Structure 1
Amino acid sequence: EIIEGVEYLHKNKILHRNLRPSNILLKQGGINWVKIGDFGMAKMQLYPDQSNTQSAGDKDYRAPEVHVGSKYTTQADVYSIGLILVELFHININKYDTYSELKGIIGQMLSGVSGQRPTCSDILNQIRAPPIVYDKDQVQADTNGLAQLDKNDYLKAYYTHKINA
C-alpha cells in the first residue's frame, strides 16, 4: 500500500520528498491501512522531465542524487521507499533467504543511478505478477505459508480484504 500511495502521488505529479518510516502511518482495522503523511516538503512536478535540485527530506532516507545536490525526479521517492522496506522487513541484502524476490525488487529501487530505478507502477506490476515456481517443494512451502495466515488475525483480515476487494 505504501507503493500504491506513492504511485498515486506520482501520477498526480507530486513528489513527496520526505518519505521515511515516521511519515508512514498505519491504521488498525478496516481498509486502507497505510497512510502517507507529512507533505510539508512535497512539490508539484509539472513537466515529466522536470528535475529538482533543492535538498529535501531526512538525510538518512535521501536518494544519492538528492544527498549530493544533483537533479532528481520521482525516482528519489522510489529510493526512499526501498530503504523503508529494508527496515520494515529487517532485510539483510547480502544474505540469501526467503526474501530473495523482494530483495531483487528492493535492489532495483536502491540503484545508485536514478534512471535505473523502476517506477512505482513497474514495482507494483512485479509484485502483482503471479510467481513462477518450478520446484514442487517451493509450492508446498507456499501452501504452508497460506495455512499460517489463518492463524494470525491481523494477516487474515488484511489478506481477506485484499482477496475480496
Structure 2
Amino acid sequence: MKKYSVLLAIVALVLASLACQTIMGGGDNGFDTPEMPGVPQDSDDDFEAPTIPPVEQDGGDITVGGESPFPVTGDAFNVISTPQSVTYQTNMSADDVMKFYRDELSKQGYTEDTSMTTTFGGMIAMFFEGNGKTVVIGGAPVGDGSVSVTVAYQQ
C-alpha cells in the first residue's frame, strides 16, 4: 500500500515538472500576441504584468532559479532549481538517468532504497537515504525523446 502511495506522489511530481515546462514555454497560455508580447489579449490599460524570476537563455535552453544541492546530467536543459529541488530535461534514457543518480548520490553518502525503486514505461521512481535526509527522484518521458527529471528532498 505504501508503495502505491509513493508512486502516486512521484507521478504528481512528474506532472508538476511537466506543468513547469508548459509554464516556461512549452504550452499556449494566451500570451505573446504580436501586438503586445507577454500581455494577455483581453488586457486593459491597468494591467500589470506579473513579476517572474530571472531567466537566462542560451541556445533555447532555459535556466531558472539558483543553486541546487543535487547533481544533474551533463546534457540537462530547461533547468529549474531551488535549494530543495531541481527539475530538468535530459536526452539520456531512463536507465541511464537511474545509473547516473546511483553513482552520483552514492558518492555523496546516500544509499538507494531499492525496495521503493520502480521503473515502468520510461517512468522512474527512486528513493535515497543518507545524511539525515531522503532524496526522491521522479522521471517521465516528455514525448520529444527526452526525459523530464525531478529531484527533491522528501518533506
- Common fold: TM-score over 0.5: no
The structure richer in strand per residue is: 2
TM-score (norm 1): 0.27
Q: State the TM-score, normalizing by the size of structure 2.
A: 0.28
